[in-house]
Chain A
């Protein structure tokens, strides 16, 4: 049987976004990357907060060159990638560079074109977007194949998440969203928040979100952030860690959207 060249899957690109800041997007993105790499997947985490880098902070990385080099000097992003652990690479953003947060259309196209060339060989590409619904958040979300919306049980987070979904849906026609509820008191709160969001999303937008799960409040998370180490590495048996591992498994089962030409 003829082996189709398309059996080598292109990477699945997932954006991790929230609307509201401070709900735990970056911490989740980092630990998700760790979980996937621990399952022998090759992961690239792109810090999509292009002007106010966070990924490197969460990981305690000493970064010298960032995506800014690519935009301004045409540096090959492949050389900017930092290996954090086996199978876990990071493409860092710049810190304190407002221009990076408002790239022009040409720069956006240039960046995504460049990125597409270097993501070959990875199984998963995670994009940790900035907070808010600014231009960079929106275009990075449209670049991704799957959108993970991180929210916490508080009403401002839910409202902002809803607003973000509404814009992505109305303006870009996106209709698939993975909802992740962070910092929940327990299973019941996690399920209720999802159910309530799903109700309102369906009622007003006819959007049916998927549930990626929930992550409980856990001192391990706080400890990880303070020590600038992924909590999955520090305390792999914590509730939060187990939740993230479960989420990683769910992601690994997401269908890949590749339309292949059938071989006989």
Chain B
């Protein structure tokens, strides 16, 4: 068996193929009109070699009999290129190039999937919407390049703080969204508060300036007994983010669950204490 030199193009295929139990492997370089010939032994079904080979060599024997695969260089090259191209497009279409986080489109898809999971697993899913405070001012004062640095910084803080199963995305210009599967409101608020604290306590280098950034966050949860649409969950988290901004920024806002709403009622004990005030005040 003659083993030729594998060039770069072949290295990809070669690696794949070597993991299969082929008896013999024969590669030739491009100067031949055959790029490569594979010989493999009995008992190995063609299907195990996967779609790669079926792309390369449509006429193919499916029994375990020894067979030859003859590859046409152009086809091989194109298949490899297409595969790379496909990977690149997949990444482009789901990653935000500046921060390395998922982009909005991908986030939407993930949120739909996660809310489905809530139905299946009966575990709640939390959504945290995070927004850099005074971002417009940063851009105006320090320029867009530094605005980008600020974005990257916050994105990195988020990446550091979340678990592997959590999912972070760049939701908009200066807004981020984090999906926390299997997480209750209390825990989600803890995570959000920690994120705020880390950003608040760090000093960021924007050009030659040591600057301090803060973020505001809004938290909403979808529970199994009250499934919401992705739009509604995003809207709820956004409302809380809005409140955080209104209340002064650099904070986390969340809406307590409906059971907690009863906690808003003034209790008998509180009233008693308040009415004792009446006696106290009337003594004046």
Contact = CB atoms under 8 A, between A and B. Distances in A.
B141 A263 contact: yes
A137 interface: no
A87 B17 CA distance: 81
B33 interface: no
Contact of A144 (B209, B213, B246): B246
Contacts of B246: 112, 142-145
Contacts of A162: 266, 270, 274
A6 B137 contact: yes
Interface of A: 4-6, 105, 109, 112, 142-145, 153-155, 158-159, 162-163, 166-167, 170-174, 185-186, 188-189, 192-193, 196-197, 199-200, 203-204, 257-264
A257 B278 CA distance: 36
Contacts of A193: 277, 281
B141 A261 contact: yes
Given A171-B256, A185-B284, A259 B214 contact: yes
Q: Which of B141, B260, B271, B281 has the most chain A CB atoms closer than 10 A to its own CB? A: B281
Contact of B141 (A4, A163, A258): A4
B278 A155 contact: yes
Contacts of A261: 134, 137-138, 141-142, 206, 209, 211-213
Given A4-B141, A6-B141, A173 B250 contact: no
Nearest to B239: A105
A248 to B, nearest CB: 21
Given A5-B140, A259-B249, A155 B264 contact: no
Contacts of A163: 266
16 contacts: A5-B141, A6-B134, A142-B243, A155-B278, A159-B274, A170-B263, A171-B264, A185-B284, A192-B284, A196-B280, A197-B277, A204-B267, A259-B249, A261-B134, A263-B209, A264-B209
Nearest to B207: A264
A97 to B, nearest CB: 25
Given A171-B261, A200-B270, A188 B284 contact: yes
Contacts of A166: 264-266, 270
Interface of B: 133-134, 137-138, 140-142, 206, 208-214, 239, 242-243, 246-256, 260-261, 263-267, 269-271, 273-275, 277-278, 280-281, 284
A259 B277 CA distance: 39
Q: Which of B137, B247, B251 has the most chain A CB atoms closer than 10 A to its own CB? A: B247
A257 B247 CA distance: 9
Nearest to A147: B247
A6 to B, nearest CB: 6
Contact of B253 (A155, A172, A258): A172
A204 B270 contact: yes
Given A4-B141, A6-B134, 7 more contacts: A144-B246, A158-B274, A158-B277, A162-B266, A189-B284, A204-B267, A259-B249
Nearest to A190: B284
B162 to A, nearest CB: 23
B284 to A, nearest CB: 5
Contact of A200 (B242, B243, B254, B273): B273
